[in-house]
Amino acid sequence: MPTTFRPYAPDQDLLLQPSLREWLPEGHLAYFIDDVIEELDLSAFYAPYEGDGRRKAPYEPRMMLKVLIYAYATGVFSSRKIAKKLEEDVAFRVLGADNFPQHRTICDFRKRHLPDFKAVFVQVIQIARQAGLISLGTVAVDGTKVRANANKHKAMSYQRLRAEEVRLEQEIGELCDQARSTDADEDRLYGADYRGDELPEELQHRQARLAKIREAKARLEQVQREADEARGRHEDDNRRPPGGRGAPYKRDFGVPDEKAQSNFTDPDSAIMKTAEGFQQCYNGQLAVDRDFQLIIENKLTANASDNGELLGVLAGIEQHLGESPEVALADAGYRDEACFKDLEAQDIDGYIALARKDKPADEIDPQEYPATHRMAEKLATADGQACYAERKWISEAVNGWIKRVLGFRQFSVRGLNNASGEWDLVCLATNLRRMQPLVVLK
């Protein structure tokens, strides 16, 4: 007896208009994102179109936002790939409702609304709080290095910037002397009415390069001045604090380290150590709630160090959710005496490591560093060690989801402000992907 196969007629027309929603299983992530976005205040996304009287109707901002969030939640970050998915992928077509914006339109929408993604992120965590998915009992804070949209080889150290500045100034001076000499010779040959005021191409190139080098040098010096002022140093203070006692400073006020670098592609980014070696990066800060591992605050910095960021992240949680967490966990990168004192003043039970696991902690003077000494005593107890041990699976798992599950390892935009907006979008997409099965379970 011959085998009977299921019916297969690829050329047969459908008698009824098909519904794409029938092709997507119930409980799909696309439906969840669609439902959540419909409940949010998206006035910031509609504001640019109010009363502009444009003839060609723009794409619906809600649709564009849903598609963009779903794309990031499923690891699609390229605007060209998103445009292709809208034609080929059922879930994208459901959210797009048979709209097919070009990749340039998607890219422009993302760029235009980078400052607005933070408000959407905040609204989503407020919904999660109301749904019981955020407890604010224990929160773990961690930083992760994400590559900037920049080539690390397009950078120059402060030492080399100074040397190049001197060299180019000398070469430009020599070229100017040569140009004046040539002009004088041509005046004698052709007369004084010869124009001859065009800059030689070689001179234009050097002047443009010198301008870029001076801009990069000024950026490094400004960053160093701000860092010196943040440490309490003044321009006329050449000795170590407190009270001007101690050895002289190694560098003058506002003078960067010789190895400090500035990148010409994305000047806001910085060289940071990663698992793949030194790369041009930004430092993404995350605060993750313990119960369901949702991101409840995020921040992006251009500083490789996490030191000094903990209090700002916790302040953001209180601003967005109306209260601070009971317990805060963080690794040794956040160790700071002033920070420990502030945590105690705010009644936040902090567990912050004082050294890396493979490096013993130094001796702590209880008179000079009383808060750090109390932290060491707390971490030495069995309860303190057990509490701090939770940090690894609370926050580091979320970093793993972003980099390995979503596959987000490099920003698509340049500049700290723009990258911060994309980091908000990444955290928003991660939360919605995490919330979808949790809401179904509850």
pLDDT in tens, 282-306: 999 999 999 999 999 999 998 888 9
**191 pLDDT tier (thresholds 50, 70, 90):** very low
403: DSSP letter: I
Is there a single domain that holds both residue 259 and residue 275?
A: no
Average pLDDT over residues 33-54: 86
Which CATH number covers residue 304?
3.30.420
pTM beyond 0.75, yes or no: yes
Is there a single domain that holds both residue 288 and residue 324?
A: yes
Is there a single domain that holds both residue 255 and residue 342?
A: no
Average pLDDT over residues 404-432: 94
Is there a single domain that holds both residue 195 and residue 289?
A: no
The pLDDT score that the predictor gives to residue 314 is: 95
- Rounded Cα distance, 136 and 267, in Å: 37
Is there a single domain that holds both residue 218 and residue 240?
A: yes
Is there a single domain that holds both residue 380 and residue 274?
A: yes
Give percent of the chain with pLDDT exceeding 70. Answer: 67
Domain-located, residue 129: no
Domain of residue 208, residue span: 155-263
Is there a single domain that holds both residue 106 and residue 249?
A: no
223-277: pLDDT as tens digits: 666 666 666 666 666 555 544 455 666 666 655 555 556 565 788 888 888 888 8
Name which of 186-190, 372-376, 383-387 the model is least confident about.
186-190
155-172: pLDDT as tens digits: 555 555 455 555 545 655
Nearest to 319 by CA among 140, 118, 38, 37: 118
Number of domains into which the chain is organized: 3
- What token pair was written down for 313? 């992240």
Is there a single domain that holds both residue 206 and residue 100?
A: no
Domain-located, residue 285: yes
Average pLDDT over residues 410-417: 92
Burial class (CB in 10 A: 0-12, 13-18, 19+), 232: exposed
Domain-located, residue 174: yes
Is there a single domain that holds both residue 258 and residue 276?
A: no
**Residue showing tokens 């000024």:** 218
Look at residues 263, 289, 309 and tell me which one is the last residue of a structural domain. Answer: 263
Domain-located, residue 235: yes
Is there a single domain that holds both residue 333 and residue 209?
A: no
The pLDDT score that the predictor gives to residue 190 is: 45
Is there a single domain that holds both residue 279 and residue 378?
A: yes
Name which of 155-169, 306-320, 338-352 the model is least confident about.
155-169
What's the length of the chain?
442
- What token pair was written down for 75? 């690891």
- What token pair was written down for 58? 């723009």
Q: How many Cα atoms are found within 13 Å in the side-chain-facing hemisphere of 389?
A: 7
DSSP-based three-state secondary structure for 288: strand
Is there a single domain that holds both residue 300 and residue 406?
A: yes
Domain-located, residue 146: yes
Domain-located, residue 175: yes
Look at residues 263, 292, 320 and tell me which one is the last residue of a structural domain. Answer: 263
Domain-located, residue 208: yes
